[in-house]
Amino acid sequence: MNREALAASIDHTVLGPETTRSDVTTVLDEAAEYGMNACIPPCYVAEASEYAPDVRLATVIGFPHGQHAPGAKECEAELAWEAGADELDIVINVGRLRAGDDEAVQAELEAVVATVPIPVKVIIETALLSEAEKHRACEAARDAGADMVKTSTGFADGGATVEDVELMSEYLPVKASGGVGSYEAALAMFDAGAERIGASSGVAIVDGYED
């Protein structure tokens, strides 16, 4: 992977609850300069799409806990797409999954996938799941027609691990997110099978690239 391909594989991210428009602009400027994508809060998507039309924009749905009503997630997804989002990262309902209600989890994801004509990544929040639950979450995402699975929101204790990426890549392409703060950490995730990295440290990751 060359430097350009590395940058294109990074979703440079700002999603904290205190995120300002200025924070988003900084991330967009850095993404444009380095050739990265950007992952930003949904409230800023319309402005970001106008400000940086050449940056691939991802935003989040049902964030960060995934417990929105299914219809609210569908509406949020449609609004984000109409505002200019190129990709959506949706949080599964972890509580329903852990309770064994896999049909409801899959149905909710299917509805969102059907609502928008853009790629949907499913955040399964690996730090909260057992190994068996991780398999079931990935199965639900795959069977719902999602495009990728993503490890973490960054709001639970623990982030992406090599072991989780290896497990998840058995089902769908993986976005490794949470605690990936350096080129070396990103490389470990790519080696484990990740195809995308979500990180607030996108600049540091690309600057750490070595031929």
C-alpha distances in Å from residue 171, one per residue of 63, 121, 153, 202 = 23, 13, 19, 26
Give the whole-angstrom CA distance, residue 137 versus residue 152: 13
Active-site residue among 73, 121, 134, 150?
Answer: 150
Question: Going by C-beta distance under 8 Å and a sequence separation of 6 or more, which residues neighbour residue 157?
Answer: 127
Active-site residue among 73, 121, 134, 175?
Answer: 175
Strands 194-199 and 87-91: unpaired
Is 175 part of the annotated catalytic residue set? yes
Question: Going by C-beta distance under 8 Å and a sequence separation of 6 or more, which residues neighbour residue 5?
Answer: none
Is 134 part of the annotated catalytic residue set? no
Q: Which of 37, 11, 58 is nearest to 197 (CA)?
A: 11
Is 89 part of the annotated catalytic residue set? yes
Active-site residue among 73, 89, 121, 164?
Answer: 89
Q: Which residues form the catalytic set? A: 89, 150, 175
